[in-house]
Amino acid sequence: MTSVVSAPLATGRLLLNEPMSRYTSWRVGGKADRLYIPAGLADLRLFLKSTDASQPIYFIGLGSNLLVRDGGIRGTVVLMHNVLTEMKVDGDLVYAQAGVTCAKLAKFCAKAAKQGAEFFAGIPGTLGGALAMNAGCYGAETWQVVHRVITINARGELNQRDAKEFVASYRHVLMPEQTEWFIAAWLNLKAGDEGVATQKIKDLLAKRLASQPLNLPSAGSTFRNPQGDYAARLIEASGLKAYIIGGAQVSEKHANFIVNIGGANALDIELLIKHMYETVLAKNGVALQQEVKVIGEYA
C-alpha cells in the first residue's frame, strides 16, 4: 500500500515504497524508497535542500529508456513529467522546461514558426531526458539545437550554463558536474514556416508508427547504432527477432526494441538484453553499446 506524507518545508507529494512500474514505459520495476512529485521549481529547490545528501537521487521524466530492477531503488526518485512544463519564445530562442514532453515541444516550436525541432516528435520522453542523453532520431540530435541550460544540484542550487560547457556525443552528454540535473533549456532554432514544420512532424510520426511497436510497452532503442551500421540489422541478422525470455520479447516489428508482451519483470528484460548483446557479438563480432539505462537493485 502506498503511503503519502508531507515533505519538510515542501508542498509536493512524497510517496513511500512507490512501485516504479507505474512510472516506466516498460511497466516493470520494484519499489522506490521515496518518490517525490514537486509542486514547482521553488518547491523542488526546498525539497532538495531538506534531503539527506548522502542518499542517491534519481530524476525521471516519462520513464522511457529506463529499466528499474525488481528490487527497487534505495534513495529518492524525483518525477519531472507534468511538473516543469513552461514553454515560451524568448527573443530569438525557444525556452522550455525539463518536464515538457518532446512531442509537445515539437508542436510548440512548429506553431511558433521555428524550424529544426521537428525531430523531437519522434522521441518518447521529456526534454530533461533528451538533454541528459542527447536523444535524437532521423538524423538530428538534441544538443545540435541547445543554446544554454539551467541545471539544479542536490543542494537545490540553480546554475545557468552555456552549451559549450557540455561535451555531447552520440547518445551521451558529459556534464561539468555529475550531481546536476537539467531544469530547462533555451533552443536556438531557425525561423521557419508553421505549415512546413507541422507537415514534417506528421511525416515523422507516420514513419515512427509504421516502423516501431508502439502498441506494446517498450523503452525505445535497446542499443546504440554502431558506426556505419544499425543495431536492429545486426540483431535481426543474428536470428533474434521475436526471441522471448519470460514476458519480454525482441520485437517482431523492430529488432532493436524489447517489448513487454505481458507479465514481464525487469529481470526478464535484463536477461534478454544480455542475450542479445552476447549473440550479436558471437555471430557478428560487434559489441553493441547499451542505450537503456539500468538502475536499482535485484530482487
> In this structure, are 69 and 22 located in the same domain?
yes
What is the span of the domain harbouring residue 264?
Answer: 231-295
What pLDDT was estimated at residue 112? 98
Rounded to whole angstroms, how far apart are CA atoms 46 and 40? Answer: 10
The yes-or-no verdict on residue 177 having pLDDT over 90 is: no
Name the phi and psi angles at 131, rounded to 5. -65, -40
pLDDT in tens, 68-92: 999 999 999 999 999 999 999 999 9
What pLDDT was estimated at residue 28? 98
The cell numbers describing 73, all together, are 531503488
Say if residue 8 is exposed, middle or buried (CB neighbours under 10 Å; 0-12, 13-18, 19+).
Answer: exposed
> In this structure, are 91 and 71 located in the same domain?
no
**Inside any domain, residue 35:** yes
**pTM tops 0.75, yes or no:** yes
Domain limit, last residue, from 79, 97, 128: 79
**CATH number of the domain that residue 161 is part of:** 3.30.465.10
Domain count, the chain: 3
**Inside any domain, residue 224:** no
> In this structure, are 184 and 101 located in the same domain?
yes
Percent of the chain with pLDDT over 70: 97
User: Active-site residue numbers?
Assistant: 171, 221, 291
> In this structure, are 95 and 154 located in the same domain?
yes
Percent of the chain with pLDDT over 90: 93
> In this structure, are 181 and 132 located in the same domain?
yes
> In this structure, are 74 and 92 located in the same domain?
no
pLDDT in tens, 213-238: 999 999 999 999 999 999 999 999 99
> In this structure, are 65 and 104 located in the same domain?
no
> In this structure, are 91 and 189 located in the same domain?
yes
> In this structure, are 99 and 62 located in the same domain?
no
Higher pLDDT, 54 or 286: 286
What pLDDT was estimated at residue 6? 47
The cell numbers describing 239, all together, are 536470428
**Inside any domain, residue 216:** no
**Inside any domain, residue 51:** yes
The cell numbers describing 234, all together, are 545486426
**Inside any domain, residue 206:** yes
